[in-house]
Chains A and B, each alone.
Chain A
């Protein structure tokens, strides 16, 4: 067994990560209103010894166009803090990580929520900090326009300072630019001391904030070179904040499609791609590129020149680079992108997928992976029964939990 083992997260998303997952004949189409579906998924992940499950979140609809929205399953689902609190009572070991926005919460309130989830789960909670770029969300919180990127990050930095101060019982009393807090937190710490801090922002501001405060970083990288560059960049920023490279675990997203043969896996992928309506694919791509009118360009033509937006800068760069590199039309890029939303897609056998994961893990481009099954429960079951045993056989992944808390699973220090 190798000394270092990879970390695995299960990225939950109602019917699955593929935009057309809900149309798959074996998908659970009512996933967004069925708590038992989630209990089953998380128990599968726990039986496979995943480090954690992760819920992404947005406080609003995903699509500006109501007709596009109605052709996806993404307009309804559970609110993740309540969902994970329910799952805490139905699981024993697996970590439970939820997204929450620094723009639409107060640190004292969010500190209470996550401290409570951490206690309910016996020290298995984590918080994924997001700053919320979507104007759809902003309209639910009295904001008329998005704050500039730098302002959102200034607020997020202050938020992170205050919330970790509350969790770690540092001297109370904060009076800052965005927040003021008088008292210490009124909820005692869990067995892991404080919830695990997670981040996914890949812009310069995002990477600096992650280097300063995150325990885990989720990222998106198509190629080994992109993954390696991000990994080295982020780890290189840690020293400036007095941190060691191992203090932060970098876990890129991966969207595997696995089957007994490569041809079978490819056929599964092709069948899913066929279920994407063109207007939905283009709308999803538009939304990630933070432009509203991609639909007016010829669908079989190339991506137009795009201005830099105030939204998700890093994701935008990734998508544009992909299109230029592969000479993709808007339709091709939209379909490709819709499948994994810019994350790394691997289609193959368990051995082929394990080879790819191993290469990035041992090549210094990842500490683990955030697994994004295309549809639930089928592709999770396939990963858990085919890929996980192969990783275990190679000594790359645990056969049983060594600890009780999420910090212990991840090999993280207790906060001071």
Chain B
């Protein structure tokens, strides 16, 4: 079973003094406890203003230098970025972290965002979703722009890279046109991880065909198992192998009792759990000192192995087709 922690730094119990050292301490503690990845969000889905001093992608860059092996996944909005810039940011983060980074793309629109990103009239949800799908396709395409053996480093011969192993994307779509390639080398884990959340029923086929990890927002149950099975079927139908997609269910740590944990584990509804925690000391301590030992006692959370996030999650090479 895979384990993740979702840390929403926007929800830091109202205090404004959250420091990098404190967050680094939380993430190191979660890492030492053997968790596969931490997912960092810097905004409320409801659109209430954040009080966090940090934005998620810049924060995980700094966290990458003070952690060794935990996966670092940042939420970033498709409205707040251009696809070329976002693909570059995560490609760069993946090299900084030696292959431990992922992008959490949500298909749910933050109601605050359009008004601050020069779209005062907003953007209809249907357009938002079509645009997000095109955006994600461009980002994944750009991540594949350099072959793994493109860099030659041939100083004497004067050949830095092999131009035949660098590929233009030449994307022209409804919302974007992007020539590529990125000016960042290929990821140490092939491509950064793509996690998706906030899915509606109409998003499932798309998500199952491109995502490496899908977070479903229902507690482990028969219903969650059905959703998970459904997503796996859709992934197979899209020509992917079963090891290409992991489905995780989100649980909220404050709801947790030993009895409920038993029920969740018994449901065997997914590939793992995401524990949603507020960024404060008592919540982190409660998770690492109380909940995780319970899971380990049931032998459900063996520490994972692998240098990259993909290998920790036992994802097949490349993930998305």
| Residues of A bordering B, CB below 8 Å | 22-25, 27, 29-30, 32-33, 35, 39, 58-62, 66-67, 69-73, 75-79, 81-83, 85-86, 88-90, 104-106, 108-109, 112-113, 115-117, 119-120, 136, 139-142, 175, 178-183, 186-188, 190, 275, 277
Pick the contact of A106 from B50, B84, B117, B155 — CB < 8 Å?
A: B117
Chain B interface size, as a band, is 35 or more
Q: Known A-B contacts: A89-B20, A119-B53. Give 7 more (CB < 8 A).
A: A30-B153, A67-B163, A70-B160, A78-B92, A119-B54, A186-B51, A275-B158
The contact sample of 9 A-B pairs, CB cut-off 8 A, is: A58-B183, A77-B183, A81-B61, A85-B58, A108-B116, A116-B53, A120-B20, A183-B116, A188-B51
B192 CB to nearest chain A CB (Å): 12
Residues of B within 8 A of A81 (CB): 57-58, 61, 89
Residues of B within 8 A of A71 (CB): 158-160
Residues of A within 8 A of B49 (CB): 183, 186
Would you call A29 and B115 a contact (CB within 8 A)? no
Would you call B59 and A85 a contact (CB within 8 A)? yes
Would you call B166 and A104 a contact (CB within 8 A)? no
Contact A78-B96, Cβ < 8 Å, known A23-B158, A29-B155: yes
- Residue in A closest to B66 when the chains form the complex, CB atoms: A89
Would you call B161 and A76 a contact (CB within 8 A)? yes
Interface digits, B34-64 against A, CB 8 Å rule (1 contact, 0 not)?
0000000001000001111111011101111
Would you call B58 and A182 a contact (CB within 8 A)? no
Would you call B62 and A140 a contact (CB within 8 A)? no
Would you call B160 and A22 a contact (CB within 8 A)? yes
- Residue in A closest to B179 when the chains form the complex, CB atoms: A139
A186 to B112, CA, bound (A): 11
B158 CB to nearest chain A CB (Å): 5
Residues of B within 8 A of A60 (CB): 84, 179, 183
Question: At the interface, yes or no: B162 with Cβ under 8 Å from chain A?
Answer: yes
A81 CB to nearest chain B CB (Å): 6
Question: At the interface, yes or no: B11 with Cβ under 8 Å from chain A?
Answer: no
A125 CB to nearest chain B CB (Å): 10
Would you call B184 and A78 a contact (CB within 8 A)? yes
Contact A61-B181, Cβ < 8 Å, known A66-B166, A119-B54: yes
B44 CB to nearest chain A CB (Å): 10
Kindly count the residue-residue contacts between A and B in the assembled complex, taking CB atoms under 8 Å apart: 181
A69 to B150, CA, bound (A): 13
A103 to B49, CA, bound (A): 27
Would you call B95 and A78 a contact (CB within 8 A)? yes
Pick the contact of B91 from A62, A79, A179, A180 — CB < 8 Å?
A: A79
Would you call B84 and A140 a contact (CB within 8 A)? yes
Question: At the interface, yes or no: B185 with Cβ under 8 Å from chain A?
Answer: yes
Pick the contact of B54 from A116, A275, A277 — CB < 8 Å?
A: A116
Would you call A182 and B85 a contact (CB within 8 A)? no
Residues of A within 8 A of B146 (CB): 76
A91 CB to nearest chain B CB (Å): 10
Would you call B92 and A140 a contact (CB within 8 A)? no
Contact A106-B61, Cβ < 8 Å, known A116-B55, A141-B178, A183-B49: no
CB interface residues, B 180-203, toward A, < 8 Å: 180-181, 183-185
A318 CB to nearest chain B CB (Å): 25
Question: At the interface, yes or no: B65 with Cβ under 8 Å from chain A?
Answer: yes
A112 CB to nearest chain B CB (Å): 5
Residues of B within 8 A of A90 (CB): 65
Going nearest first, the 5 A-B pairs with the smallest beta carbon separation are A85-B61, A79-B92, A116-B55, A139-B179, A182-B115
Would you call B163 and A69 a contact (CB within 8 A)? yes
Contact A113-B96, Cβ < 8 Å, known A76-B146, A82-B89: no
- Residue in A closest to B80 when the chains form the complex, CB atoms: A109
A253 to B161, CA, bound (A): 29
Would you call A66 and B84 a contact (CB within 8 A)? no
A113 to B271, CA, bound (A): 34
Would you call B65 and A181 a contact (CB within 8 A)? no
Residues of A within 8 A of B116 (CB): 108, 181-183
Would you call A178 and B118 a contact (CB within 8 A)? yes
Residues of B within 8 A of A140 (CB): 84, 178-180
Would you call B85 and A59 a contact (CB within 8 A)? yes
Would you call A187 and B53 a contact (CB within 8 A)? yes
Would you call A175 and B184 a contact (CB within 8 A)? no
Pick the contact of B58 from A113, A175, A180, A181 — CB < 8 Å?
A: A113
Contact A89-B96, Cβ < 8 Å, known A66-B163, A119-B54: no
A62 to B163, CA, bound (A): 14
Residues of A within 8 A of B52 (CB): 186-187
A89 to B60, CA, bound (A): 11
Contact A79-B89, Cβ < 8 Å, known A116-B53, A120-B58: yes
A136 to B159, CA, bound (A): 22
Would you call A73 and B53 a contact (CB within 8 A)? no
A30 to B153, CA, bound (A): 7
Question: At the interface, yes or no: B120 with Cβ under 8 Å from chain A?
Answer: yes
**Max chain B CB contacts within 10 Å: which of A60, A79, A116?**
A79
